[in-house]
Structure 1
Amino acid sequence: MLLVSYLKTIMLLYAGLASNGELLSGHIQSDSTETPQSTLQVGTSYMNIVNYRGRTFGINQYGFMPMAKYISKTGFVLNATGYYWSGMDNKLAKLDLGIGYEKEIVKNLYASFNYERWLWNENNVEEQNPLKNYLAADMTYDFGYWNVSGTYEYMWGDQHLSQLTFQIAGDIPLYSNEAETSELKFQPGFTFIMANQSSLSVISAPNYLSNKKGKKTATTLINDPFQVQDYELSAPLYLKWNNTEITGAYRYAFPLNGSPDEHLKPFGYFTLDFVYNIKW
């Protein structure tokens, strides 16, 4: 049971990063000729198969990630994201609170920086939460009908983890009305992920230490070398109608460099993102 608890914890740590969804990782790319506006975004993201870099760890579950995000006229950002996983003992298991900055550095080149504090549901004493801080830096260049981006993420607490993600995505218009208040786009993408932790072997035989409260802590939870972990193909459809944005995507994951007992294989899954924008 303790090992299963560890697997669930690892799943929760990173599943939000695995989808590379527009809701969580995207940033607003406004026309530089527009008057800057403050924006409040509220929405949610759904995954029919929760996974981390193409790994489900044998846990069959779906997930929701409700969110709220405020972007000031000058680019400062405040965000909050909750995590609901159907297969967790504590289904409302985690809350992320973040602060960041988003900016168009030069025409068509965008950068963002973000720090998050991860707040865990501590009701289950068997679940371990080694990572509590998250830092990310992202750069995106928009070529018009396609864009390229690179993101570096660093997570730390009792342990630490690094991740580097590269993405190429299309932005092909299918429909737009004259007022540009509604549009439909096809946004196919390719994502390539490198990181320093992946395998179940890291936690299959951990070295436990008991702290003063008697809660067990894994001392060898994250120690794999930095290497390619996963690449994914995605086929999202993006719909905008006035202030509402909906993105539905089919994604196919190709996990790599697992341990022999993981039995990794490619698989497909669906994501659905909903965002409502309030601007002033």
Structure 2
Amino acid sequence: MTTQRVAIVTGAARGIGAEVARRLSSDGHAVAIFDLDEAACQVVADEINAAGGKAIGVGVDVADEVKVEAGVSRVAAELGEPTILVNNAGIIRDNMLFKMTLADWDSVMAVHLRGAFLMSREVQQYQTKAKWGRIVNLSSTSALGNRGQANYSAAKAGMQGFTKTLALELGPFGVTANAIAPGFIATDMTAATADRLGITFDQFKEAMAKEIPVRRVGEPADIAHAVSFYASEGAGFVSGQVLYVAGGPKD
């Protein structure tokens, strides 16, 4: 029987994060839904609870040190000490380099890298005490470079280096750290990109699918399945890895 752990998933009010939270609940874990809007978090938590799981919604800005500390402490008090962390929170502020503002750069770095750092630093105290833990960081195929995403690409590449360092530092305490780098996933975020391009989301997905070897775009469930593996008991000898979930090979 699966041991019930307490998981925190950031950016989990919708999209990939929400699907990851549902999957971890179905795997038998209690789940804390972290996102900026606590009411939106609670919608996902209520869905999980109605399905027989155990979840709470917590409004947290992951780039805010005080709010991260308070949010994680609340999880420990209400659900139990967290030992699974999925750093999924992210934003995009796409623009070509010559048009990119300092705010565009700083906001993306703050949510992705500062957020993952603050969350991991806070949760590791429970993981190292338990001598067991799983950290899963969301990177992206954009880490390999993507036109118009200097900020996002740098942040997602940074997530990979951060992950490998966590694996080295926390491994002796029974804690693994791995990253998942999604390719094109059908979410509200990619739908917004279609809007900016002036085409329908279906047209955008169809065009993207033609460039993907398996000839379809990814779904949030594809990422949730990979997270489920990394968070499992059986993945204890897998750490410091980056898994590209992109429908084909990436360099």
Note whether the superposition's TM-score is higher than 0.5: no
Q: Calculate the TM-score normalised by the size of structure 1.
A: 0.35
Q: Structure 2-normalised TM-score?
A: 0.38
Query: Which structure is larger by alpha-carbon Rg, 1 or 2?
Result: 1
Higher share of residues assigned helix: 2
Higher strand share: 1
